[in-house]
Amino acid sequence: MRFHSPQKLKTIADLIGSKFVGPEDFEVLGSNEIHMVKPGEIVFVNHPKYYDKALNSAATIILIDKEVECPEGKALLVSDDPFRDFNKINTHFTRIYNFTEELHDVEIGEGTKIHSSAVIGNNVKIGKNTLIFPNVVIGDRTEIGDNVIIQSGTVLAGDAFYYRKLNGNFDRLISVGNVVIENNVEIGNNCTIDRGVTDSTIIGEGSVLDNQIQIGHDTVIGKKCLIASQVGIAGCCVIGDEVTLWGQVGIASGNKIESGSVLLGKTGVNRDLEKGTYIGMFAEDFKTYLKKEVKLRNLK
Q: How far is CA 158 from CA 6, 26, 142, 174, 220, in A?
A: 28, 34, 10, 11, 16
CB contact set of 8 (below 8 Å; sequence gap of 6+): 24, 25, 26, 27, 28
Order the strands of the 119-120 sheet from edge to edge: 119-120, 137-138, 155-158, 192-194, 214-215, 232-233, 250-251, 268-269
217 annotated active-site:
yes
Catalytic residue among 4, 104, 115, 217: 217
Nearest in space to 125 (alpha carbons), one of 84, 68, 179: 179
CB contact set of 90 (below 8 Å; sequence gap of 6+): 1, 31, 174, 176, 198
Q: How far is CA 1 from CA 40, 42, 177, 255, in A?
A: 11, 9, 7, 22
CA–CA gap between residue 103 and residue 295 (Å, rounded) = 64
CA–CA gap between residue 234 and residue 236 (Å, rounded) = 7
Give the residue numbers annotated as catalytic, written as ranges. 217
